[in-house]
Amino acid sequence: MLQSVIPAVYPILKTSYRLDFAQIGLITLTVQLTASLLQPFVGIYTDRRPTPYSLTVGMGFTLTGLLLLSGAPSFKTILVAVALVGVGSSVFHPESSRVARMASGGQHGLAQSLFQVGGNTGSALGPLLAAMVVLPRGQRSIAWFSGGALLAMIVLARIGAWYKGKIANRAKAGAVLDERHARLPPRKVALALTVLIALVFSKYFYLASLTSYYTFFLMSRFHLSVRSSQLHLFVFLGAVAAGTFTGGPVGDRIGRKYVIWCSILGILPFTLVLPYANLFWTGVLSVVIGLVLASAFSAILVYAQELVPGKIGTISGLFFGLAFGMGGLGAALLGRLADATSIGFVYKVCSFLPVIGLLTAFLPDLEIPYKSRRESTT
Q: What's the predicted TM-score (pTM) here?
A: 0.72
CA quadruple 113, 359, 322, 186: dihedral sign? positive
**Which whole number is the average pLDDT over 264-280?**
93
CATH number at residue 331: 1.20.1250.20
Reduce the DSSP state of residue 342 to 3 states and report it. Answer: coil
**Structure confidence at residue 369 (pLDDT):** 47
259-288: average pLDDT: 93
256: CB partners within 8 A, 6+ apart: 109, 299, 300, 302, 303, 367
SS (H, E, C) 9-40: CHHHHHHHCCCCHHHHHHHHHHHHHHHHHCHH
What pLDDT is stored for residue 178 in this prediction? 44
What single letter denotes the amino acid at residue 299? A
Q: Is the pLDDT of residue 177 over 50?
A: no
pLDDT per residue over 19-50, tens digit each?
A: 888 888 888 788 877 877 888 888 888 888 88
Q: State which residues form the domain around 199.
A: 5-376
For the chain, strand residue ranges (E) read none
**Does residue 289 contact residue 265 with C-beta atoms inside 8 Å?**
no
Q: Report the pLDDT value the prediction gives residue 368, as an integer from 0 to 100.
A: 52
The three-class DSSP label of residue 53 is coil
Residue 185: what are its φ and ψ, rounded to 5°? -60, 150
**Which of 92-96, 169-173, 241-245, 361-365 is predicted least confidently?**
169-173
Number of domains within the chain = 1
Residue 141 three-state SS = helix
pLDDT in tens, 301-331: 888 988 888 788 888 888 888 877 777 678 7
